[in-house]
Structure 1
Amino acid sequence: MKSLEQGRIVWAEMLDPSGANVKLRPGVIVTPTEDITGDDPFVVVAVTSTFDEPVPDWQVKLPWNRDKRKVGTQLNKPTAAHCMWLIRIRASEIHDVAGVVPPQALKEILVKVAQYNGGGED
């Protein structure tokens, strides 16, 4: 399995923002890499393919390509990180591990997570 690190995209079953509709969804790990240990919970920002154009300030568009092998995120359709939709998951709940968000997009995600969630992931 690819390493679990801040900025890595993982697939896990997640509830939608209203607390319903469990579905296999991608999420971007926002917990610092050094804080991801064993099967302790860590935080991801949910990734959605349903968003407005232009994206709201609390979302960050992610790079994608129909051929996911050609993009670092390994996302194959337009998506956005929903920076107000934080979910705690464990390594044991991950169904798949994908690519990594580019550094500039990760920086933007982390700033918006702090801005829209009272200063941070916890």
Structure 2
Amino acid sequence: AFSVKRIVSPLIFDNLKNAVLEGLYDPALGPIDLRGCCSTCNLSQAYCPGHFGHIELPLPVYNPLIFSTLYRLLKNTCFYCYHFRIGREEMSKFVAKLEKLADGDFVGSMSVSLGKGAGAL
């Protein structure tokens, strides 16, 4: 959902030193020189925030930055019924915290205190 361009070319520049389309410096990801204009947001290099691209891989890959969190989630999951092994009250707090994070309310998410059971997640 965040990606604006699929990256398929390992080349960065062509023989004329122009950015290769669908490469790492594709113009859709943002301008690379001071005079350039972004083809995604039409802003100059000074104002364009830059945009994400994506590389499609043949197999799923886990993000190493959240691997420990995924491990704790799996460890606290019942493999018979596939529910988390915490109480309903803790689960509702956990869901409320995640909903606030998904809405971008980081400060509000910090105000939701998790119980001892949900803290294990």
Q: Normalising by structure 2, report the TM-score.
A: 0.21
Higher helix share: 2
Higher strand share: 1
Greater RCO between the two (CA within 8 Å, min separation 6)?
Answer: 1
